[in-house]
Amino acid sequence: MALTFENKMKVRDYECDSQGVVNNAIYLHYFEATRHELMEKCGLRLRDLTEANILPVVRNVNISYRNSLRGSEEFVCSVKIMRKGLRYLFHQQIIRVGDNTLCADAVIEVVCLMNGKVAKPDMFDKAFADYINWE
């Protein structure tokens, strides 16, 4: 069974809008930061990949906003990975720590470009081996 990666974070006040809740665009940052933490944990550094002309790029994002986060609240952003053809589907959730409430969930589709072309990402399969569900 594939593992779930979790990243605990805290809302910073400047991420909130005039209504005192996290701006919807900030959730994209939370999701991205968690994917980057997972990549680093798995030995993949974006700078090294870029220098080798290997680029994981977001192809599609689908976010459902469920409940608002507010300033200083702690939350956990989780990631489960599904591999479908040449695509990685990152199933992500943001859950508020205080009451275990689902605040947002997303499916983020990523493909790997090698020298500018979509490619079979063997190195990603190896790095993410413990986290991938195959379809």
Token output for 8: 């605990």
Q: Provide the pLDDT for residue 51.
A: 94
Report how far residue 45's alpha carbon sits from residue 82's, in angstroms, rounded to the nearest whole number.
Answer: 20
Mean pLDDT of 20-35: 98
Q: How many helices (H) and strands (E) does the chain have?
A: 3, 7
pLDDT of residue 94: 99
For the chain, the domains span 5-134
Exposed/middle/buried for residue 70 (C-beta within 10 Å: 0-12, 13-18, 19+): middle
Q: Report the CATH architecture of 5-134.
A: Roll (3.10)
Tell me: the pLDDT tens digits for 55-65?
999 999 999 99
Q: Is pLDDT at 45 greater than 80 in this prediction? A: yes
CA–CA dist 44, 54 (Å, integer): 11
Q: How confident is the model over 56-108, as pLDDT tens digits?
A: 999 999 999 999 999 999 999 999 999 999 999 999 999 999 999 999 999 99
